[in-house]
Chain A
Amino acid sequence: MRAVPVALLTVTLAGSLAACGGSPAKQTVAVTATDTACQVADTQLSGPGIYAFKVTNKGDQTTEVYVYTHDGKKVEEVEHIGPGTSRTLKAKLAAGDYQVACKPGEKGDGIRTDIHVR
């Protein structure tokens, strides 16, 4: 009886992991989030590919980070980044304009930084 949900979970996760698992990032971009700022180390990225945004929360509030397309569509997100912790957000980006948004307190539109992929 336990086998059913466990199998379900395993299959779902395995499938999801396989879908984008193991793909190495083209470049790691440091993002430093505080309660009032959101610093993206590199805003001019060279060429399409998978980018790893390593977000470090140096503020006192829990934060979350989103990557949006230029017309506001969400590409990727990482929630629940506690104070003093780091999380990596991996996003597959084509050439074009994007925005990185840090949302201290996990609310609002966030502090946004424009980035460009050549």
Chain B
Amino acid sequence: MLNRLTDSLDFQGQALALRSERQRLIASNIANADTPGYQARDMNFAQALREATGAAPGRALAGTAAGHLAGQTGARGEPQLLYASASQTNLDRNTVDMDRERASFADNAVKYEATLRFINGNVRTMLEAIKGQ
């Protein structure tokens, strides 16, 4: 019964964990904007969320023998990281495009906050229901 209350929070929780993961990735890109040879990284958020919530088969290793450890599932597992290609050629082979990274960072921050509000709304709804006035 109680898990039915928290099931709806689970999806948003996974989304929140992935958002913070992506925030960290973009922060790494911005930090390495001047590092020679650094390749900017990013994730396909929609795909990662599908894998984290089990809507798509994850990339966890298949257990074919009894002794095999199960791969981590959910946002705790590692999402597939992609490499960004350079939008302008650079002599130092750095592929960080600051405009793109700043835009992604702002976009991700807003969406992180949106997810927080969804969770807050969900919690408020449940508390309202529990009060039962």
Asked whether A and B interact, the reply is no
